[in-house]
Amino acid sequence: MLEPDHPVVITAIMRNTWTTRLVVDGNKVAGQRDRHDIMVEQTNKECLPAIVLSFCSGGGGKRKGRSKKWKEILRFPHISQCTEPGSSIDRDYVSICEKQPIGRLLFRLYCETRPKLQRCIQLLDAMDDYEVTPDDKRKSRGDQIIKTFLSKQSPQRVDIAEVFADQCRENLELSPCKEIFSNCRKAVHDYLSGAPFLDYQNCMYFDRFLQWKMLERQPITKDTFRQYRVLGKGGFGEVCACQVRATGKMYACKKLEKKRIKKRKGESMALNEKQILEKVNSRFVVSLAYAYETKDALCLVLTIMNGGDLKFHIYNMGTPGFEKDRVQFYAAQICCGLEHLHRESIVYRDLKPENILLDDNGHIRISDLGLAIKVPDGELIRGRVGTVGYMAPEVINNEKYAMSPDWWGLGCLVYEMTAGRSPFRARKERVKREEVERRVQEEEEEYNDKFTEDAKAICRMLLTKDPKQRLGCKADGAAGVKAHSFFKNINFKRMEAGIVDPPFVPDPRAVYCKDVLDIEQFSTVKGVNLDQTDNDFYSKFATGSVSIPWQNEMIETECFRDLNVFGPQGTRPPDLDWNQPPEPPRRSLLDRIFRRHHPEVSISNSRVQSSSVNSVDSMSNSAP
């Protein structure tokens, strides 16, 4: 059912072959390229016309899809009502001013009101820009930073960083590497995390941050979203497209049916995936934005991807396999994603082409973290899990391991993207699992003329049978993989900043996966009853918004820009004024109409309430 406050243009399309497909966490679906257009197909198998719902409210652009009531949904509470986040948040400089996107922006607004602090922020920005500057231009950019911010003669100098001028100048002459300003950066952050951060916590910008945190902590229910058609099926339920009413942002909602989870004893698996997803914040891994529950299901709201998966692109877009630059690009982004997972002590364990998804612009994300697991510090784990043909020898042998299976998986992917087939099984080859596992353990992969010497070398090093000798598994970890000559043309700083142009951008008119018009429905689960123990588990799962993705959503959809306003000349607006009482809650339209036509009821109710209060007071006074 369509939301009544949301105007919709409905256009019938009498064929379904020209559209691209949405791909969500490994599930494919027919859909429009525009992220706010959802294909809603009729269930009648004999009649395949579709309906495109084009959401038109919000003025278009990044505001497209917002509910007409979005400002009411995101209305700031009065600052006097924000004591809970004020007392419960970790008042840590790195967390508030660096990691949290809205916290970072508000701290910068505060710094702009003080010239000395503003110069510190400008220096930090300049050093960030230096790190992503192309190699041939980095030296001149470094000279400019030293001259502007570290020179005694410069009116823009940053005093606390001035002592590093000679050191930076010497290192820049030797080699303009990315780490030249690392000591300078640390000194600036150390300074800002001291007295400036303490002062910030007593200003109106921090109070506004607390208001945003209150909005972030609002209860999340099914009414937070508009629910659309089924996109596919997961292990415990359906995956549907959904849209946040307040912002218009599109997501994929992965529904885990409560009774199906209990019947399959999947509680620990579901909670593990949820906790891992919310811990990882990477542009190269599908992110979790919300976790909530309904009467019948637990729901994970995830990044929605529109460009197909790597398996489809490898095998269905002409000659199987990719050109070298495309293999390098995807391998580099996967390497970054694995590094971010490993940084959180998470081993992924299911790297394969169908789990790598493309977005509208051609960037990739690792999806489906159902087999991922956190490795305790200083320990190894054991588990014979994964996909046949991509499992590392140590996994097949049920040996203990840490992160080594993921680097084996990267080797399999680089090989398959280059050769157009997996290293230990030909495309569509009928072979038993035991035979594939024997090949993985005993045979060496073969290389055809599609492989350059660098490609052969990195595959051989990643597909080393002994995990102790495998590339990525030694002390240097991901840095050792990045340093391989196969990636000599990749600037990883620029890659991680998202400013490297992909070699391939999905065509909005192309079809990037097979039709899934016939999505079978799950059968009803019988003989399973839910009890209080289940409710305790659900409370651990349904934790609402995930901080960093939620704040990014507010910024990307321009809700932050539209709402983050202050009084004239930088004064406190009424909702940030501690001396001004909060406005009373707005009455509903129905309540206002009712009171207008029946004022005597309101008067009568007031008298009843007054009488009740007086009765209670008299009882209290007569008590001993």
Binding site as annotated, residues for ATP? 263
Residue type, 302: L
- Of 350, 368, 406, 575, the active-site residue reads 350
Q: Alpha carbon of 541 to those of 263, 274, 376: distances in Å?
A: 18, 7, 21
Retrieve residue 102's tokens.
């809205």
What residue numbers does the annotated binding site cover?
263
Retrieve residue 36's tokens.
């706010």
> Please, which residues bridge with residue 8 across strands?
55
How many Å apart are CA 434 and CA 545, to the nearest integer? 44
Retrieve residue 391's tokens.
């499992």
Asked if residues 247 and 559 have their Cβ atoms less than 8 Å apart, the reply is yes
Retrieve residue 28's tokens.
């494919």
Q: Measure the CA angle with vertex 241, ends 290 and 358; round to 5°.
A: 90
Q: Is the dihedral of CA 389, 512, 450, 477 positive or negative?
A: negative
Please compute, for residue 205, the number of CA atoms within 13 A of its CA located in the half-sphere on the CB side: 21
CA-wise closest residue to 536 among 299, 216, 302, 293: 293
Asked if residues 467 and 401 have their Cβ atoms less than 8 Å apart, the reply is yes
> Please, which residues bridge with residue 381 across strands?
401
Retrieve residue 558's tokens.
């321009």
Retrieve residue 453's tokens.
């010497």
Helix (H) or strand (E) segment spanning residue 243: strand 238-244
How many Å apart are CA 445 and CA 81, to the nearest integer? 64
Which stretches does DSSP call E strand in 100-167? none
Retrieve residue 96's tokens.
């508030």
Helix (H) or strand (E) segment spanning residue 241: strand 238-244
Q: How many residues does the chain have?
A: 624
CA-wise closest residue to 368 among 383, 385, 351, 384: 351
Residue tagged 């990749």 (tokens): 490
Mark 56-90 as b/e (b = at least 16 C-beta within 10 Å).
ebbeeebbbbbbeebeebbebebbeebeebbeebe
Q: Is 406 marked active-site?
A: no
Tell me phi and psi for residue 256, to 5 degrees: -110, 110
Which stretches does DSSP call E strand in 285-328? 288-293, 297-302
How many Å apart are CA 50 and CA 112, to the nearest integer? 52
Q: Alpha carbon of 447 to those of 283, 425, 459, 555: distances in Å?
A: 32, 13, 10, 47
Q: Catalytic amino acids?
A: 350
